[in-house]
Amino acid sequence: MVLALAALAWSFWWSSGWLQLCAGLALFLFGMQSLEQGLKNLAGGRLEQWLGKSTSTPFKGLLFGSVASLLLQSSTLVSLLTIAFLSAGLITLVGSIAVLFGANLGATSGIWLLALAGQNISMSKVAMPLLVFGILLGMSGDRGKAVGRLLLGISLIFMGIDEIKSGFSSFGDLRLDRYSADGAMGALLFVGVGTLITVVVQSSHATLMLTLAALASQQLALDQALAIAIGSNLGSAVSTGVMGLIGSARSGQRLAVAHMVFNGTTTVIAFFLLPPMTWLVVHATGWMGMGDNTLIQLAMFHTLFNAMGVLVFWPFQQQLAQALERWLPDAQEPSVLIETGAGQVVQLTRARYLQTTSLQTAESASSAVAKELQHMARLALEVVAHALYAPPDVRHGPEREDPQLRSRLEHQAINADVLYRNHIKGVYADLLEFMGRMDQPLDGAQQAFWHSSQVAAFQLVDAVKDAHRLQRNMHKFLMQPDDSAARSSYLELRLYMLQTLRDIHALSVADMPESQWTQELHALDASIAAFDAQFRKHLFAAIRGGLLDSLTVSSLMNDLGFAQTIIHVLRQVLLLGEGHEAIRQQQLLMGDAPLIQAA
C-alpha cells in the first residue's frame, strides 16, 4: 500500500496533466458521496419507505429504481439499498429484481446530461455559486445542512468534470485508438478496460464520465468508447455482486447473483451486437439532426443496450426468482445447534441476521435487530428449559400433567452458565457491536425501538443468569424423595414456569385482533400475579404447619423471585411488538426445532 501511494505521488510529479485528471476524478467521486448523503439526509426515512412500497407491482419497482438512480446518480447504491431491504425481509425477491432493472435504466440519465452539456461548456461557472451556497447552508440547521450537502456534491461533480476535461486536454498527443486491435479482440480489450476501471473506482458513472471526456478530446474512437461502456456495466455487476455476496443474508445474495446475471447477460448481448448497434446509433444521430455527435451516440448506445437487457429479462422475472431460490436455497434450521457429547468441540453461537448490508438504512437495520432478538430469545428459552430439567423445546414439550415432569431427576442437566457462555454471550456481543456501528439518522419511533432493543437484549442476558442461579436449588430439591414438601414446592414452581413460558410463546405467535391480543396479555398478567400470591401464601402456611423450615422457605422465596424475573423479561420482549410492529411480524420466539439440545 505504501509503495502504491509512493508510486502515485511520483506520477503526479512526473505529469501535471495526470495530476489534474486524478484530482478531477477524486472531486467527482467525493461529489457523488456528498450528493448521496445530502439526498438521504434530506429525505430522512422516506426513501426507504418508498422502496418498501414500490415493490407491490413490477412496474412500480422499475419506476422507483429509475428515479432513485437518477436522483442518487449511483445504480450501485440503489442496488445495495435493495439488497439490504431484501436481506431484512422487507421486500420480495421478485419486487427487488424490478428495482434492479430500473436502477440500470436510471444510470443512463447522468450520461445524457453530460453528453448534452457537451465539451465546450464550462461546468465551473455553475459549480462556484453552488459551492458558496452549499457551504453557507451547511452552517444552518439539519435540513439546511442536508440541502447544503446536496449542493456541495453537485458543485464538486461539476468541478471534477472540468478538471478531468482539462486533464485529458493536456494529453493532446495521446491517441488511444492507436493501441486498438482489429475486430472482436479490439472490442474485448476495451471491454476489459471499462470493467477494470469500474471495479477500481467503484463507480460506473465515473468510468463513463472519463470515457466521455476522452471521446470529446478525440483521444478515443467511438467503437472503443462503446466497448468501455459495455465493460462499465460488467464492472458494476462485479463490484456490487461481490459486496452483496459477502455481507448479505441468503436472500440478499440471491439479488446480488441476479444483478450479476442480468448485467453479465446484457454485456454479452451488447458485445455480440456491437457492430449493428454502432451503425444504429450513428445513423440515429443523423436522423435526429445532431450530426456526428459522438457524445450523444455514446449516451444513446448506453441507454439502448440497458433497455434491451430489461426487455429480454422482463417476462422472466418470476422464473429468474425461482431459479435463484433453487441455486441458493435457505439453510435448513438445525435441530441441534451444538453437540455436547464427549470428545466434541464446542462451537460458540454467534448472530445469524446482523449482516453488514443491513446497516445501509435504519429500516433494514431495525428488522435485522428484531430477527436477532428472536434468535436470542429462542436461545434464552432453551437455556431456561435446561435449568428447569425439562426438554429443551419448552413450546412443544410435555404438558403439565405429563408424568415425565413429575418424576425424579435421573440426570445432571447442562450447566446454565456454560450454556450462557457458549450460546448467549456471543450473540449479545454481536448485537451490541451491530448497534454501535449503526450511524444512519433515526426518527423518534426508531430511536425508541433501538433503546427498547438494547434493554431487551440486556434483560435476556440477565434472565439466563437468573436461570443459572435457579438451577442449583432446582437440582438439589428435585432430587429429594417424592414425599418431601420442599420437592413438591420446587416441582410446583417448575411446572408453573414451564406452563407460563408456553403461554408466552402461544401469545407471541397468535394471529388475532389487537384488542383480543391485549385482553389475552392482561389475562396472562393476572395469572402470573395470582400464582405469586398463592405460592407465597402456601409457603407461609407450610412454615406454620411445620412442613418447611425457614431456610428452605427463604430459598424458595429467592427462587420465586428469579422465576418471576425470567418470566417478566420474556413478557417484556413480547411487548416490544406494541412499540415496533416488526417484532410481532417476525413472530418472536417462533420456531419448531430446539436450538440447543443435550446429548
Q: What are the pLDDT tens digits along the chain (599 aa)?
A: 678 778 878 888 887 778 888 888 888 888 877 877 777 777 666 666 777 777 778 999 999 899 888 877 778 778 878 888 887 777 889 999 999 999 999 888 878 877 876 655 667 777 888 889 999 888 887 788 888 888 898 888 888 878 887 776 666 555 555 556 567 888 999 999 999 988 888 788 888 888 888 888 888 889 999 999 999 999 988 888 887 777 677 888 899 999 999 999 999 999 999 999 999 999 998 888 777 889 999 999 999 999 999 999 999 999 999 999 999 988 765 544 444 555 556 678 899 889 887 888 888 888 889 889 988 888 888 888 888 887 776 655 556 555 556 565 655 667 889 989 989 999 999 999 999 999 887 878 888 889 889 989 999 999 999 999 999 999 889 888 888 999 999 999 999 998 898 888 788 777 788 888 889 889 999 999 999 999 999 999 999 999 999 999 999 999 999 999 999 988 877 655 443 343 443 333 334 444 444 44
Closest CA to 214 of 259, 255, 267, 168: 168
For the chain, what's the residue count?
A: 599
pLDDT score of 215: 87
Q: What is the DSSP string of 191-255?
A: HHHHHHHHHHHT-HHHHHHHHHHHHHTT-S-HHHHHHHHHHHHHHHHHHHHHHHHHSS-HHHHHH
Amino acid identity for residue 183 in this structure:
G
Crossing angle of helices 294-313 and 250-272, in 10° steps, is: 130
- What nine digits make up the cell of 459? 434483560
Q: Phi first, then psi: what are they for 354, rounded to 5°?
A: -90, 75
CA separation for the pair 460, 431 (Å, rounded): 12
Domain(s) of CATH 1.20.58: residues in the chain: 356-590
- What nine digits make up the cell of 176? 488511444
Q: Who's near 163: CB < 8 A, 6+ residues apart?
A: 20, 21, 23, 24, 27
- What nine digits make up the cell of 259? 444483478
Neighbour-count burial of 566, counting CB atoms closer than 10 A to its CB (0-12 exposed, 13-18 middle, 19+ buried): buried
Alpha-carbon dihedral sign for residues 347, 353, 354, 357: positive
CATH class, 356-590 region: mainly alpha
163, 20 Cβ separation under 8 angstroms: yes
CA separation for the pair 599, 593 (Å, rounded): 15
pLDDT score of 356: 84
Angle (CA) 372 377 379, round 5° = 100
Q: Who's near 427: CB < 8 A, 6+ residues apart?
A: 349, 350, 351, 372, 375, 376, 379
- What predicted TM-score, i.e. pTM, was given to this entire model? 0.75
65, 78 Cβ separation under 8 angstroms: yes
CA separation for the pair 73, 71 (Å, rounded): 6
pLDDT score of 119: 54
